[in-house]
């Protein structure tokens, strides 16, 4: 289940790169891509939470709890960025970069445990 979450997060990250490319150029991102990115992130979070909270039927790898905590914070920052999107304004560029880098760290921690290289 955790490996599936990592794959879903990776697919969502591709959408995130597309979103960031719009925002970093000062444009409003596409709504369908934003919604897909959010849905993939939420799915990954739910799968990760199931494992970390002991409902996934598999052992909890090291750093999975820390990864979940970090990714929840990343999701909250994503809601903040979405609030700009609702107001038809691109999000603040530094926040977009922080969102992306923190998500990368969280997914790498999760992948390290899920694929046994951490």
Quick check: 83 pLDDT over 80? yes
Global pTM reads 0.93
With bands split at pLDDT 50, 70 and 90, how would you rate the model's confidence at 57?
confident
Confidence label for 67 from pLDDT (cuts 50, 70 and 90): very high
Can you give the residue range of the structural domain that contains 47? 2-114
The number of distinct structural domains making up the chain is 1
Longest dimension (CA), the chain: 45
Q: What is the mean pLDDT of residues 72-98?
A: 97
Residue 118 clears pLDDT 80, i.e. is over it:
no
Calpha distance 20→17 (Å, rounded): 5
The rounded mean pLDDT for the chain is: 96
Residue 56, burial from CB neighbour count under 10 angstroms (0-12, 13-18, 19+): middle
Q: Which of 49, 76, 71, 70 is nearest to 60 (CA)?
A: 49
Which helix (H) or strand (E) covers residue 57, if one does? none
Report CA Rg, the chain.
14
């Amino acid at each position: 289940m955790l490996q599936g979450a990592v794959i879903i997060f990776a697919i969502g990250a591709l959408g995130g790169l597309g979103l960031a490319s719009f925002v970093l150029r000062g444009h409003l991102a596409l709504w369908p891509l934003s919604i897909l990115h959010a849905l993939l992130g939420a799915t990954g979070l739910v799968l990760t939470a199931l494992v970390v909270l002991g409902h996934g039927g598999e052992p909890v790898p090291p750093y999975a709890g820390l990864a979940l905590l970090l990714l929840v914070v990343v999701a909250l920052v994503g809601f903040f960025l979405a609030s700009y999107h609702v107001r038809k304004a691109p999000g603040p560029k530094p926040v977009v970069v922080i969102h992306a880098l923190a998500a990368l760290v969280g997914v790498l921690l999760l992948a390290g445990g899920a694929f046994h290289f951490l």
